[in-house]
């Protein structure tokens, strides 16, 4: 099954509806309780903290902590709705901006009220999303100054310091930290950089305080799968699903036609590969972290029996290497070395020390780059070795007919279209 649908209990308002068709107009959004008058925004912050809303951009950082850090900073402040989806397997942010721009703008308005910010920015790379946001701004005429900044689509363009750098007129490339944006961001001002789904959930929590727990505990998940081996190319149609936290991955796989899957790539390219036991994994940050994976942006790519996990690892690492900002020497050399070693495994050309090097690099490289790209590449290598040691051993001395040519740097296996 492909398309857009919800698994939330009937009667609970989610982010996917209504409507599911064209971009939502302001009349429809107002009828749902949107843009409600601002009353005691500090209570909203307490509510966000009480229900434990976590960011939906990838790291899952507590939203209330980021809001408080900017609120408590001195001087003018800025809030940014980050809609640049770097992960090739994720579509949720573009879908929201294209079809429900008002819920994102409402969340941005509320974040500004909570933090005391006088300026908002919507940051994106998708042309259709930009058109929808500008139309929504013209309809709503917000009191808050809101600018729209478009960037080129790259894996690192959505990293928070890259966002700040691009808004300030520079390239969308990460910078060294500290300072973090909450300390010195856009124009040097304390800045909240929040994912658009996070802001949308803030807006729904404000208009529906009775459903705050359910809103904070639900996730937008992009489900895809090649289903045809390396030769099939792009992953094809995707499903965008809103699900309650704790939904098992097996439920999503069955629902979307991937019930024969042997493995899953978690969190876009950030959460790593997971083999035996994936069917028992529930969809929430803590459970996936405890299992050695990560939810990340909520993108799930399922591998069928005909897919080779080594090929998937090669293509993921090669894509990440090609997407490196090339600012950190350790990232350039680290991603390159990981990809080269995995290509050697796929082609049956790995030496006796190749696997040992992959083990060592996967332990030593995380945390050494300016952004999470190097961490993602290292996790790909580590999880391949942890979950598929027999498959790796089977490639020694003989090229795999499924993945011997796998080295695509364009991410086409993982890329999906917005439904």
Give the model confidence (pLDDT) of 268-280 as tens digits. 899 999 999 999 9
Q: What is the dihedral of CA 308, 309, 314, 316, to 10 degrees?
A: 120
Element housing 143 (H / E):
none
State the helix-helix crossing angle for 101-115 and 92-99, rounded to 10 degrees: 100
Bridge partner residues of 5 (DSSP):
241
CATH class belonging to 313-394 = mainly alpha
C-alpha to C-alpha distance for 151 and 149, rounded to whole angstroms:
7
DSSP 23: P
For residues 273 and 384, the answer to whether their CB atoms sit within 8 Å is yes
Task: Please determine, for residue 396, whether its predicted confidence score (pLDDT) is greater than 90.
Answer: no
- Residue 22 has a CB neighbour count (10 Å cut-off) of 9
% of the chain surpassing 90 pLDDT: 70
pLDDT at 18: 56
Give the model confidence (pLDDT) of 16-62 as tens digits. 865 555 678 999 999 989 999 998 888 999 999 999 999 999 888 99
Residue with tokens 């391949």: 384
C-alpha to C-alpha distance for 231 and 272, rounded to whole angstroms:
22
CATH 3.10.20.600 is held by the domain 220-303: yes
Give the model confidence (pLDDT) of 325-382 as tens digits. 888 889 999 999 999 999 999 888 888 899 999 999 999 999 888 888 999 999 999 9
Q: What are phi and psi of 110, to 5 degrees?
A: -70, -40
Element housing 252 (H / E):
helix 249-255
pLDDT at 391: 92
C-alpha to C-alpha distance for 132 and 38, rounded to whole angstroms:
24
Task: Please determine, for residue 407, whether its predicted confidence score (pLDDT) is greater than 80.
Answer: no
pLDDT at 41: 87
Peptide bond into 178 cis (omega under 30): yes
pLDDT at 380: 95
Which two tokens mark 312? 């998937």
pTM of the model: 0.94
Task: Please determine, for residue 96, whether its predicted confidence score (pLDDT) is greater than 80.
Answer: yes
Torsion sign, CA atoms 17, 23, 27, 33: positive
Element housing 263 (H / E):
strand 263-266
| Burial (CB count <10 Å: 0-12, 13-18, 19+), residue 367 | exposed
Phi-psi region of 25 (alpha: psi -120 to 50; beta: other; left: phi over 0): beta
**All CATH 1.20.1440.230 domain ranges in the chain, comma separated:** 313-394
For residues 186 and 145, the answer to whether their CB atoms sit within 8 Å is no
**All CATH 3.10.20.600 domain ranges in the chain, comma separated:** 220-303
**All CATH 3.40.50.11540 domain ranges in the chain, comma separated:** 7-215
Q: What is the dihedral of CA 246, 376, 269, 56, to 10 degrees?
A: 50
Q: How confident is the model at residue 150 (pLDDT cuts 50, 70, 90)?
A: very high
pLDDT at 60: 85
Which two tokens mark 292? 């050695």
Which two tokens mark 329? 């020497």
7-215 maps to which CATH number?
A: 3.40.50.11540
């Amino acid at each position: 099954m492909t398309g857009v649908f919800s698994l939330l209990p009937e009667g609970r308002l989610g982010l996917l509806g209504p409507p599911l068709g064209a971009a939502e107009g302001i009349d429809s959004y107002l009828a749902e309780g949107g843009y409600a008058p601002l009353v005691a925004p500090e209570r909203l912050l307490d509510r966000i903290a009480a229900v434990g809303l976590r960011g939906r951009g990838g790291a899952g950082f507590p939203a209330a902590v980021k809001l408080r850090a900017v609120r408590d900073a001195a001087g003018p402040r800025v809030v940014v709705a980050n809609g640049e989806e770097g992960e090739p397997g994720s579509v949720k942010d573009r879908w929201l901006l294209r079809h429900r721009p008002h819920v994102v703008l409402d969340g941005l308005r509320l974040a500004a009220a909570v933090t005391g910010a006088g300026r908002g920015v919507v940051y994106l790379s998708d042309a259709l999303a930009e058109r929808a946001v500008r139309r929504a701004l013209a309809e709503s005429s917000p009191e808050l100054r809101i600018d729209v900044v478009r960037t080129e689509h790259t894996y690192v363009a959505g990293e928070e310091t890259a966002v700040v750098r691009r808004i300030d007129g520079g390239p969308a490339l990460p910078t060294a930290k500290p300072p973090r944006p909450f300390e010195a961001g856009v124009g040097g001002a304390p800045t909240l950089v929040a994912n658009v789904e996070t802001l949308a959930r803030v807006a729904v929590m404000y208009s529906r305080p009775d459903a705050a727990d359910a809103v904070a505990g639900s996730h937008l998940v992009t489900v895809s799968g090649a289903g045809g081996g390396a030769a099939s190319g792009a992953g094809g149609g995707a499903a965008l699903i809103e699900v309650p936290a704790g939904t098992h991955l097996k439920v999503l796989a069955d629902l979307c036609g991937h019930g024969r899957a042997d493995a899953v790539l978690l969190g876009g390219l950030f959460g790593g590969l997971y083999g035996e036991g994936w069917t028992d994994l529930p969809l929430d940050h803590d459970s996936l972290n405890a299992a050695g994976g990560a939810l990340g942006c909520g993108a799930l790519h399922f591998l069928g029996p005909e897919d080779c996990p080594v090929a998937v690892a090669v293509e993921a690492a090669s894509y990440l290497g090609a997407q490196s900002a090339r600012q950190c020497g350790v990232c350039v050399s680290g991603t390159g070395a990981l990809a080269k070693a995995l290509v050697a495994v796929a082609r049956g050309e790995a030496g006796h020390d190749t696997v040992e090097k992959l083990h060592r690099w996967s332990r030593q490289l995380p945390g050494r780059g300016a952004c999470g790209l190097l961490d993602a590449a290292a996790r790909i290598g580590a999880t391949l070795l942890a979950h598929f040691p027999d498959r790796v051993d089977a490639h020694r001395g003989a090229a795999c007919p499924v993945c011997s040519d796998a080295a695509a740097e364009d991410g086409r296996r993982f890329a999906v279209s917005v439904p």
